[in-house]
C-alpha cells in the first residue's frame, strides 16, 4: 500500500535525511497521510509556514499490510475531509529512508520511506522498549539512554550529538531575540554581542555557508549601520549576500531586504552607483514577488528618492518620492509618519528645484 504526506521541512532536516539513506526515521506525532498523491502535493505547495530556509517535500510511504505491527488505520469514513482518503499512522512509528530526490517537474523534494517491521535491523527490542519505557514522551535523551542500554553506542553518540546541536541552536535563537530586544532599546553594543554569539553557534552547528549564517550576517550589518560604522556594515552585508545568493531562491524577500540595507549603507558612504545597483535588485525582486501596491515597494522607491536627493539630483528624487507616496496613500492612513516624511521630502525637492 502506498500513502503520501505533503509538508515543508527545514533545510537541515532535508540534509539529515539525504545523508542517512538506509537509516531509520521516527516521527514524534501522529502522521496524517493520504492515498491521493495530489492531495499531498497540494499541502506541500500551499503551506503557509514556508520560509526561505525551508523546502516543500512529499513523503511517499510504502506500507506492507502483512506487518505484524498494525501502526496505521484508514480513517476516511471518520474524517471531515473524506476526499483526502486519510490514513493515520501512529505516534513513534519507525520508517526506513529509501531515497531522497528532487522532483523538478513538481518542484518538490520526494522522500521515499518504508514502514519498518519489528524485525527490521533488530528493531524488535527498540519497539518493545519504546512502548514499555518511553511511551509517547519520546525525547532524544530518552532515546539515547535506550540505545546505550541496547549497546547501540554509535547510534547513541549520534543521538546525543544531535541533542547538543539542537540545544545550541535553541540557545542561538534565544540570543537572537535578546539581540533584537537590545537593538530596539538602543543598546547597540549589547545587541552586537548577542548577534556575534549567534553567529559563532550557527557556524559551528550548521556550517559557514548555511542560510541561517547569512541571516546572522545581515543582522550584524543592521547593528553596524545603526552604529554608523558603514565599513563594517558593508563587510557583513556582503558576506550575507554571498551566502543568501547561494542558498535562497532568486525571488527571496529576505535577500531583497539585504540588498536594500546595503543600498542604504552605500548611500551614506556616498557611493551612489553601488547604492542604486542594490536598490534596483531589491526593487526587481519585490515587484516580481509582491502586489504592485505593497509597502515594501513603496519603501525602496523612497530609498531611491533619498539616494538621488543626497546626490542633488532633485528632479529624479522627486519622481521616486512621488511613486512612493502614490503607493503609501493606498496602504497607510494620511497621518502615518511615513507619509508625512515623504510629503515633506517632496516639498523640499520642489523648493530646491525652484532655485
- For residue 278, tell me if it sits in a domain: no
Q: What is the reported pLDDT for 124? A: 46
Is residue 74's pLDDT more than 70?
no
Buried/exposed code over 291-316 (b: 16+ C-beta within 10 A; e: otherwise): eeeebbbbbbbbbbbbbbbebeebee
- Reported as a pLDDT band with limits 50, 70 and 90, residue 123 is very low
Q: Which three cell numbers stand for residue 266?
A: 552605500
- For residue 90, tell me if it sits in a domain: yes
- For residue 280, tell me if it sits in a domain: no
- For residue 316, tell me if it sits in a domain: no
User: CATH number for the domain including 36?
Assistant: 3.90.176.10
Is residue 130's pLDDT more than 60?
no
Is residue 128's pLDDT more than 90?
no
Is residue 234's pLDDT more than 90?
yes
Number of domains the chain is built from: 1
- For residue 22, tell me if it sits in a domain: yes
102: domain range? 2-118
- For residue 181, tell me if it sits in a domain: no
- For residue 295, tell me if it sits in a domain: no
- For residue 192, tell me if it sits in a domain: no
> Region 306-313: what's the mean pLDDT?
95
pLDDT tens digits, 182-224:
999 999 999 999 999 999 999 999 999 999 999 999 999 999 9
pLDDT tens digits, 156-186:
888 888 889 889 999 999 999 999 999 999 9
Distance CA 238, CA 306 (A): 22
Instruction: Check residue 239 and give left, alpha or beta (phi > 0: left; psi -120 to 50: alpha).
Output: alpha
Amino acid at each position: 500500500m502506498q500513502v503520501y504526506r505533503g509538508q515543508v521541512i527545514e533545510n537541515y532536516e532535508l540534509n539529515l535525511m539525504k545523508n542517512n539513506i538506509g537509516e531509520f526515521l521516527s516521527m514524534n506525532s501522529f502522521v496524517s497521510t493520504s492515498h491521493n498523491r495530489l492531495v499531498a502535493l497540494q499541502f506541500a505547495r500551499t503551506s503557509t509556514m514556508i520560509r526561505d530556509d525551508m523546502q516543500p517535500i512529499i513523503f511517499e510511504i510504502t506500507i506492507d499490510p502483512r506487518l505484524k505491527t498494525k501502526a496505521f488505520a484508514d480513517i476516511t469514513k471518520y474524517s471531515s475531509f473524506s476526499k483526502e482518503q486519510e490514513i493515520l499512522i501512529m505516534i513513534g512509528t519507525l520508517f526506513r529512508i529509501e531515497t531522497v530526490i528532487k522532483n523538478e517537474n513538481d518542484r518538490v523534494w520526494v522522500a521515499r520511506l518504508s514502514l519498518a517491521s519489528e524485525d527490521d535491523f533488530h528493531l524488535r527490542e527498540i519497539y518493545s522498549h519504546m512502548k514499555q519505557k518511553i511511551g509517547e514522551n519520546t525525547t532524544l535523551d530518552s532515546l539515547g539512554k535506550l540505545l546505550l542500554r541496547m549497546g547501540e553506542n554509535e547510534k547513541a553518540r549520534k543521538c546525543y550529538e544531535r541533542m547538543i546541536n539542537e540545544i545550541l541552536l535553541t540557545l542561538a535563537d534565544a540570543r537572537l531575540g535578546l539581540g533584537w530586544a537590545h537593538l530596539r532599546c538602543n543598546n547597540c553594543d549589547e545587541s552586537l554581542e548577542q548577534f556575534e554569539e549567534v553567529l559563532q553557534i550557527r557556524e559551528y552547528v550548521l556550517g559557514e555557508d548555511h542560510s541561517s549564517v547569512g541571516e546572522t550576517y545581515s543582522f550584524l550589518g543592521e547593528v553596524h549601520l545603526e552604529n554608523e560604522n558603514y565599513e563594517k556594515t558593508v563587510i557583513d552585508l556582503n558576506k550575507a549576500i554571498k551566502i543568501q545568493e547561494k542558498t535562497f531562491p532568486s525571488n527571496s524577500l529576505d535577500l531583497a531586504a539585504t540588498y536594500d540595507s546595503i543600498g542604504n549603507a552605500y548611500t551614506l558612504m556616498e557611493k551612489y552607483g553601488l547604492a542604486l545597483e542594490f536598490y534596483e535588485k531589491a526593487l526587481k525582486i519585490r515587484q516580481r514577488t509582491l502586489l504592485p501596491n505593497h509597502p515594501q515597494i513603496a519603501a525602496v522607491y523612497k530609498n531611491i528618492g533619498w539616494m538621488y536627493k543626497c546626490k542633488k539630483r532633485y528632479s529624479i528624487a522627486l519622481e521616486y518620492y512621488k511613486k512612493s507616496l502614490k503607493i503609501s496613500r493606498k496602504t497607510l492612513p494620511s497621518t502615518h509618519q511615513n507619509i508625512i516624511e515623504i510629503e515633506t521630502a517632496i516639498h523640499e525637492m520642489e523648493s530646491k528645484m525652484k532655485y
